[in-house]
Amino acid sequence: MAKPLLLLPLLAAACFFFLLASASAPPVPAAATYTPATPTHPGAAAGCYPRLFAFGDSLIDTGNFIHYSTAPGPVARSPYGETFFHRPTGRWSDGRLIVDFVVERLGFPYWTPYLAGKTKEDFRYGANFAVASGTALNQLLFRKKHLNVGGITPYSLGVQIGWFKKVLATLGSTEHERKEIMARSLFLVGEIGANDYNHPFFQNKTLDWVKPLVPQVIRSIGLSLETLIGLGAKTLYMPGIFPLGCVPRYLFLFRNSTSAAGGDLDPATGCLRWLNDLTSHHNNLLKAKLAELRRAHPGVSLVYVDYYGEVNDIVSAPTRTGFAPATVLDACCGGGGFHNANFTIHCTEPGAVQCTDPSKYVSWDGLHMTEAVYRIMARGILDGPFAMPPIMSRCKKY
């Protein structure tokens, strides 16, 4: 049965959820944004993977979006980046992302974003191809379904894989060299897929309209994994989607069409049960696809990363990880209103309400999470138990 959707102005949805913003938004100076920094623990994982290649969306985009966009919007303004970098860097958070913590543990400097890279040296430790608003499916498919693509980046997962092929060609001049690079590198493919559902939901599409996209999204992810494996990849980590039903902006959007009594809200978490069911459906199909690929490629390690379980544990028992139960579903920085998630006012705009301590909040801006949560999630993939085997289990020293 189709869930009722609030009728939102399309322009507002495109501007505030799809990561577009007004052309008046000032871009971040290039030098301040793209200069790699020294990791917190350089050389911590000597003898581990020599390179990391990452693909995805705003959960791991470290600057590609603001490099290509002529209107980079809120992510190019304070308070984004305030916690760690003390300036906006193109990361959709108050500080570091999951991939930053992985890079630190591997002993690499923070990446130059792929779209800002110019030389072979820029990709010495790998590359991050993720772009905010990125999807597994491409724009053409959404156009065929009569969806407005104004807020959908053209840089889908397939395009990101194409970028990777170009980088690989610069790193290895022979087939043998390229195969060696592939075999020794670590690949983080995702999280990807959430925006394939977010975009239509925020254009007032129903659950019945969105759910048939899930098998297509998984097929697209599977094809990208097959491409990487065909090029010689041996170690790939694929995160599932975190529980979308716990995202403050969704809770704000559906505030008038849900009720605990009607079974729409999970009594244990306060999250939207039906939206989390959709998320679980995606994750279950992804796990099935990975099992299929393992059977087809027995010499390749394909590891599922349980982002859903990680975030669900935090929301279900927030005090265990230092978060307050009263605000666990609220945005730290938002437009006020229900869960501080009124997205007609963005975090960076006049009238926004900002918390005093982001480390006590799960959600940063109502859509993306805080560095505090990303740190916990990174631990789950680096050391377990939300990725088995964890990344660091393959390294000679921690």
User: Residues 332-357: pLDDT tens digits?
Assistant: 999 999 999 998 999 999 999 999 99
Is 365 in the active site? Answer: yes
The mean pLDDT of the chain is: 89
Q: What is the pLDDT of residue 259?
A: 60
Active site residue 368: yes
| 361, 327 Cβ separation under 8 angstroms | yes
Range with lowest mean pLDDT among 63-77, 139-153, 219-233, 375-389: 63-77
In the chain, % of residues over pLDDT 90: 80
User: pLDDT confidence of 128, banded at 50, 70, 90?
Assistant: very high
Least confident of 67-71, 265-269, 276-280, 384-388: 67-71
pLDDT in tens, 20-46: 333 333 343 343 444 445 554 444 445
So what's the pLDDT on residue 127?
97
List CB contacts of 12: < 8 A, sequence separation 6 or more.
343, 344
pLDDT band at residue 396 under the 50/70/90 scheme: low
- What does DSSP assign to residue 295? H
> In the structure, what pLDDT confidence band is assigned to residue 194 with cuts at 50, 70 and 90?
very high
Give the pLDDT of residue 261.
54
Tokens of 27: 């871009």
Exactly one of 41, 86, 368, 383 is catalytic; name it: 368
Confirm whether 357 is a catalytic residue: no
Would the pLDDT of 13 be above 60?
no
The residue annotated as part of the active site, out of 58, 133, 156, 224, is: 58
Q: Can you tell me the distance from the alpha carbon of 11 to that of 209, in angstroms, rounded to the nearest whole number?
A: 20
Q: Give the chain's domains with CATH numbers.
A: 10-245+274-316+377-384 (3.40.50)
**Total residue length of the chain:** 398
The three-class DSSP label of residue 189 is strand
Considering the candidates 94, 100, 306, 365, report the single residue annotated as catalytic: 365
Q: Tens digit of pLDDT for each residue in 244-280?
A: 999 999 999 998 876 655 569 999 999 999 999 999 9
